[in-house]
Structure 1
Amino acid sequence: MAGKTIVLTGASDGIGRAAARALRQRGDEVVLVGRSAGKTAALAKELAADHHVADFARLSEVRDLAATLLDRHPAIDVLVNNAGAIMGSRTTTPEGHEATFQINHLAPFLLTTLLLPRLLTAGGTVVTTSSLLNTRARLDLDDLDAVRRYSGSRAYANSKLANILFTRELQRRHGEDGLAAASFHPGVVATNFSGGGDSAARLLYHTPLKRFLLTPEQGADTLVWLATSRPGADWAPGGHYEKRRPSAVHRLADDSGLARRLWERSQALVELA
């Protein structure tokens, strides 16, 4: 049986790189998307895979990426929204959005929306990397860019709850069309995550404590499982998972009204409304 065509963002390092290798070993066609041109090209050469470079801090690059993917790939079976970041100091993107919120939520929202017709044609799956830290969110739809109140950890938690709300609203809107969506928590993984910023997360990811964390391969396991198994049989679409099991979510994750309003605000922010 022919493998799936899987578009994987955040593929040049960490759990993305581990997942790409695991998926390629299965015989799937993995389309790599990374921010680092050198790392992404090196992995693409290793895996004999197509690759693209895009910085999710620039929505123009996300739009260009979507156009290129649609041009090169007549079928897209799975989209894995795995790219992510955490900032310490508040920074803004060229579009004027708080960077953590844009990179972790608005960019994958835009990419998914632009690829949606191709995914629907395939009866495809959308997998989004979230975090257990979604449970610490204090999401304010009137201050999504954290202009009035900012902390790096809160911005990250808010973006991870947004990932789950997006997943559930995507499933509500398009589940009957054959699409399946899921989010997952990879665990606390020994990667270079946060290495380029000034977040306090560096204290965990870039000290000797790192040796106590999960390996990238362990963190990628649930991603690979969701991308390659059977929605509705092996896992429930719309769910949030960790270690291939349902995982804890913020009490607001089940608020369908909030999910709908976040979707509508996100459309407006990326100028898709």
Structure 2
Amino acid sequence: MAEQDLIGKTIVVTGASSGLGAEAAAKLTRRGATVAVVGRSVERTTEVAGTVGGEAFIADFARFDEVRKLADQLLDRYPRIDVLANNAGGAWPKREITVDGNEQTFQVNHLAPFLLTALLLDRLVQSGARVINTGSMTYRTARLNLDTVNAPTGSFTMLGSYGASKLATILFTRELARRTEGTGLTTAAFHPGAVATHVYDRSRIAAPFVRSPLGRLIFLSPEKGADPLVRLVDTTDEINGRYFHRFKLERPSNKQAVDQDLAQRLWVLSERITGTTAGVAE
């Protein structure tokens, strides 16, 4: 990897105020890229941007109005966007409903990245960009029911909701690749590995374990977790529409993850909920 080989490239990294997003921003700026550091916390996002030499943008993905404002700011600031890294995410132990009326895990992990991508899509296509989506191996045992995934009531588990949202990430990636085929846009999803990040903070069981001596032996550091994202920025391998378990190409083992009809229905549902049309042909 040559130093400063990303000079002239503009890269947007969401969820970059901490964890692997912050580490990815640091690695990419060291290679010469202009990096938009997107985060929810004003203090942490500004600090990371200042430390790595990026530009801070504040947005809470639990609010669609802030995602729309973010998209406007990015379009005003950057005449081209070479990479959009949809890395922001989270998990909540109890069902929470956002101000937009959506189940929070589903909105933050899928609907908000979908909305941001849709709002930036013309610019991304014009730039021949890459859209890199952070997934999770939890998709393997997940079940995505479009009738209940965004319901305000009903059965709920933290892992079930998180896994379903990350299954949606893979389906979104596959459908985005299909709908933009031939435009020059490329997209991929990846699992960064079991990384010690703030995503576990809300779990009373997982959080203490992640911080324990044994947890530190088992879980990857955010720096190592960022490496697959950084690789996907400019790899010459064929990646479009594909899913990677860290660096290794994985054909999704969950049958729903390769269900084209489900991917199309998820896309239509996401457009309806976010009130946007992605602007690409069927």
TM-score by length of structure 2 reads 0.91
How much does 1:3 deviate?
A: 3.5
What is the 5 A alignment of 1:64-83?
64-83=69-88
Which residue in the other structure is 1:44 paired with?
49
Which residue in the other structure is 1:160 paired with?
166
How much does 1:229 deviate?
A: 2.0
How much does 1:248 deviate?
A: 5.3
How much does 1:192 deviate?
A: 2.3
Which residue in the other structure is 2:34 paired with?
29
Which residue in the other structure is 1:98 paired with?
103
Q: Distance in 2 between matches of 1:121 and 1:67?
A: 16
User: Is residue 2:242 matched to residue 1:236?
Assistant: no
Stretches (4+) displaced over 4 A: none
Q: Residue deviations 1:179-217, cap 9 Å, x none?
A: 10000000001222232x346432443433331211111
Q: Distance in 1 between matches of 2:198 and 2:214?
A: 13
User: Is residue 2:112 matched to residue 1:107?
Assistant: yes
Which residue in the other structure is 1:186 paired with?
192
Q: 1:7 aligns with which of 6, 12, 25?
A: 12
Q: Residue deviations 1:116-151, cap 9 Å, x none?
A: 000000111000000000012111011121433211
Matched letter for residue 22 of structure 1: K
Give the unaligned 5+ runs of structure 2. Answer: 278-282
> Which stretch shifts more, 206-215 or 235-244?
206-215
How much does 1:271 deviate?
A: 1.2
How much does 1:236 deviate?
A: 2.4
Q: Secondary structure at the match of 1:237?
A: coil
Which residue in the other structure is 2:280 paired with?
none
Give the number of equivalent residue pairs: 269
Matched-pair contact (CA < 8 Å) for 1:164–1:253: yes
Matched-pair contact (CA < 8 Å) for 1:86–1:100: yes
How much does 1:48 deviate?
A: 2.2
Matched-pair contact (CA < 8 Å) for 2:110–2:168: yes
Which residue in the other structure is 1:210 paired with?
215
Q: Secondary structure at the match of 1:30?
A: strand
Matched-pair contact (CA < 8 Å) for 1:164–1:183: yes
How much does 1:111 deviate?
A: 0.2
Q: Distance in 2 between matches of 1:245 and 1:51?
A: 32
Matched letter for residue 11 of structure 2: I
Distance 1:246 1:141, change over 3 A: same
Matched letter for residue 168 of structure 1: R
Q: Distance in 2 between matches of 1:229 and 1:241?
A: 13
> Which stretch shifts more, 242-251 or 186-195?
242-251
Which residue in the other structure is 2:144 paired with?
139
CA RMSD of aligned residues (A): 1.4
Distance 1:199 1:266, change over 3 A: farther
Q: Distance in 2 between matches of 1:205 and 1:158?
A: 22
Give the unaligned 5+ runs of structure 1. Answer: none
Matched-pair contact (CA < 8 Å) for 1:12–1:32: yes
> Which stretch shifts more, 75-84 or 211-220?
211-220
Q: Distance in 1 between matches of 2:241 and 2:10?
A: 21
TM-score by length of structure 1 reads 0.94
Distance 1:178 1:36, change over 3 A: same
Q: Distance in 1 between matches of 2:127 and 2:23?
A: 25
